[in-house]
Amino acid sequence: MMSTPAAQVAEDPAEEQRRMLRESALAFAANELKPARMRTLRLQPVQFDRKLWKTMAEMGWTGLMLPEAHGGSALGIADMSAVVEELSRALLPEPLVASAVFAGNLIAHGDNDALKAKLLPALVAGDLIPAVAFQEGLKIDSPVQSRAEAAGKDFVLNGVKSYVRPGAGADGFVVSAKCGDGLGLFWIPAGTTGAELKLERSTDGTDIGTLTLKNVKVGADNVVASAKVGAAAFDRAFNEALIAGSAELLGLMRGALDMTTNYLRTRVQFGKPIGSFQALQHRAVDLYLQQELTAAALVEVARLFEEGGSGDQLNALASRIKARASDAAMQIAREAIQMHGAIGFTDEYDVGFYFKRIVALSAWLGNSAEHRRRYAACSGIGKKT
């Protein structure tokens, strides 16, 4: 077992709460999350378990960050990240970050209280699984082309949204679209006339979607955020998803590296454990270093994010951690297989699930190169006056 930093002797209440959250996630993971699940779920039409999602809701996790007025716990991104990290470490295909953090917060940051009152309690209770449909090209900075045209009080939407996570199993979509001079956000329940979802398989064995909108009518009651607040709401929820998504990658790193160091200790070749070969020892240490850089940066980023700042500052923080987490995770994923040898390349062995989920989540919401670019743009690199 990889050792985690020892708990402080005198804990402040926030720390203590986070530790308890972590422990309950750990206990849940030990009981409920078995890697073997991944082998059966990927064969289902929806590749996560709604019953388990409901249990997670009962644990308070789907509403952890949502307003208390709608049944949530109104906790911050640091607490959410702690839970996500522990669950992800044991492999979690359920869309906690995509639905509860990204979509949930996006709805909460909007300016439609009646819609919040309708959707958020259902999300908190585990009865609603929303997804965000925002991306239109390969890159996160590809411009939004989808349009929402006003038709009286209602809107008509046209456009194509790709890489929507979750695709299979989503009950509805928060869709971003150009609306006048601003960005509007609209709630489109799955199966709405004119909204067609095409599924594609992600490396992690879940289906993500391409949502094609042809003259989809959205009533005023389903406007998540008006064009006045849409862009700001989106950026905030996107940044929160980046941070929680990085925590998810960190959990996967820990799981993959644990498996790998265990293997190094037990696999014998040339009469000794392969972990006694210095060539592997040094690289294992390099991986641990990347993992711990991510962990330390995550704590700092979450804290600074909660303290607040300008839009650019918050964007830079979130991109900083997603860039680090994606790179570190990809490196650990590749090395985990390399250090296992051929068995690591088999479907029968669990390390591949970590590898695949890491590939999927490193690309999702922007890979490390995209986030370094975003960081540079938002932090003013090269613009010193």
Partner 1 sequence: MTNWNAMSDEEFRQIARKFIEDNYPQKLRYPSKRLRWAEIKDWYFTQSKAGWIAPGWPVEHGGMGLAPGKLIIWVEEQENYGVGRAPDHGLTMIGPTIIQLGSPEQKAQYLPKIITGEHVWGQCYSEPNAGSDLASLRTEAVLDGDHFVVNGQKIWSTLAQDATHLYVLVRTDKNVKKQEGITFLLVDANTPGITIRPIMTIAGDDKFCEVFFDNVRVPAANVIGGVNKGWTVAKTQLGFERIFLGSPKLPQYALGRLEDIAMKIGAFDDALFTDKFTQLKLDVADLNALYRRYTEIVRRGGQLPPDVSMLKVWSTETYARIASLMVEAAGAAGGLDGATDLGGMTEDIMTHYYYARPATIYGGSNEVQRNILSRATLNLPG
Q: What is the DSSP letter of 308?
A: -
**Rounded to whole angstroms, how far apart are CA atoms 185 and 266?**
53
**Among 157, 298, 370, 375, which residue sits at the site for partner 1 (rule: CB under 8 A)?**
370
Contact status, residue 129 vs residue 196, Cβ threshold 8 Å: no
Judged by beta carbon, residue 324 or residue 340, the one nearer ligand FAD is: 340
Judged by beta carbon, residue 161 or residue 356, the one nearer ligand FAD is: 356
**Run of H or E including 189:** strand 182-189
Q: Please report whether residue 290 would count as binding partner 1 according to CB under 8 A.
A: no
CB of 242 to partner 1, least distance (A): 14
Q: Please report whether residue 243 would count as binding partner 1 according to CB under 8 A.
A: no
Cα 162 to its chain centre, rounded Å, is 16
**Rounded to whole angstroms, how far apart are CA atoms 103 and 240?**
10
> Taking CB positions, which residue lies at the least distance from ligand FAD?
341
Q: Please report whether residue 130 would count as binding partner 1 according to CB under 8 A.
A: no
Stretch that binds partner 1, among 115-123, 252-260, 269-277, 309-317 (CB under 8 A): 269-277
Residues in region 343-362 near partner 1 by CB under 8 A: 344-348, 352, 355-356, 359-362
CB of 282 to ligand FAD, least distance (A): 11
**Rounded to whole angstroms, how far apart are CA atoms 270 and 112?**
66
Q: Which residues bind ligand FAD (CB under 6 A)?
A: 267, 269-270, 274, 277, 279-280, 338-339, 341-342, 345
**32, 111, 329 from 279: Cα distances, Å:** 37, 56, 20
Cα 117 to its chain centre, rounded Å, is 24
Judged by beta carbon, residue 252 or residue 339, the one nearer ligand FAD is: 339
Other residues' Cβ atoms within 10 Å of the Cβ of residue 26: 16
Tokens found for residue 68: 């208390």
Q: Name residue 217's beta-bridge partners.
A: 156
Judged by beta carbon, residue 9 or residue 342, the one nearer ligand FAD is: 342
33 φψ region: left (φ > 0), alpha (ψ -120 to 50), beta (else):
beta
334: partner contacted, choices ligand FAD, partner 1, none (Cβ within 5-8 A by kind): partner 1
Judged by beta carbon, residue 336 or residue 360, the one nearer ligand FAD is: 336
Cβ neighbors of 39 (< 8 A, separation 6 or more) are none
Residues in region 169-208 near partner 1 by CB under 8 A: 200-205, 208
Q: Please report whether residue 268 would count as binding partner 1 according to CB under 8 A.
A: yes
257: partner contacted, choices partner 1, ligand FAD, none (Cβ within 5-8 A by kind): none
**Run of H or E including 133:** strand 130-133
Judged by beta carbon, residue 171 or residue 207, the one nearer partner 1 is: 207
**Run of H or E including 208:** strand 207-218
List interacting residues with partner 1 (CB under 8 A). Answer: 135, 137-140, 162-163, 200-205, 208, 268-271, 274, 277, 279-280, 330, 334, 337-338, 341-342, 344-348, 352, 355-356, 359-364, 366-370
